Amino acid sequence: MRYTRIAGTGSYLPEHVVTNADIEKLVDTSNEWIIERTGIHSRHKVAPGERSSDMALIAAERAIEAAGIDRHSLQLILVATSTPDMILPNCACLVQERLGVAGMPAFDLVAACAGFIYGLSVADQFIRSGMYDNVLLIGTEALTSITDWTDRETCVLFGDGAGAVVLQASDQPGILSTHLHADGRYKDLLRASSPLPTQADPEDPPYVRMAGREVFKFAVGALGDVVDEALAHNDLDYSDIDWLVPHQANSRIISALAKKLDLPMERVIMTIAEQGNTSAASVPLALDIAVRDGRIQRGERLLLEAIGGGFCWGSALIVY
Name the domain boundary from 124, 148, 171: 171
- Print the domain residue range for 79: 3-171
Q: Are residues 224 and 273 in the same domain?
A: yes
Cβ within 8 Å of residue 137, ≥6 positions away: 78, 79, 80, 116, 119, 120, 123, 164, 165, 166, 167, 284
H-state helical runs in the chain:
20-24, 31-38, 52-67, 91-99, 115-128, 212-233, 251-261, 272-275, 282-292
Confidence (pTM): 0.96
Q: What is the CATH number of the domain that holds 28?
A: 3.40.47.10
Residue 297 pLDDT = 97
For residues 10-17, give the mean pLDDT: 98
For the chain, the average pLDDT equals 95
Active site residues: 113, 247, 277
Q: Are residues 163 and 259 in the same domain?
A: no
Residue 198 pLDDT = 83
Q: Are residues 193 and 235 in the same domain?
A: yes
Name the domain boundary from 147, 171, 195: 171
Q: Are residues 100 and 193 in the same domain?
A: no
Q: How many domains does the chain have?
A: 2
C-alpha dihedral, 61 to 65 to 70 to 72, nearest 10°: -20
Answer whether residue 18 shows pLDDT above 90.
yes
Answer whether residue 266 shows pLDDT above 80.
yes
- The residue type of 268 is V
The band of 35, judged by pLDDT with boundaries at 50, 70 and 90, is: very high
Q: How far apart are the first and last CA of the chain?
A: 17
- Residue-wise pLDDT tens digits, 190-199: 998 888 888 8
Name the domain boundary from 171, 196, 230: 171
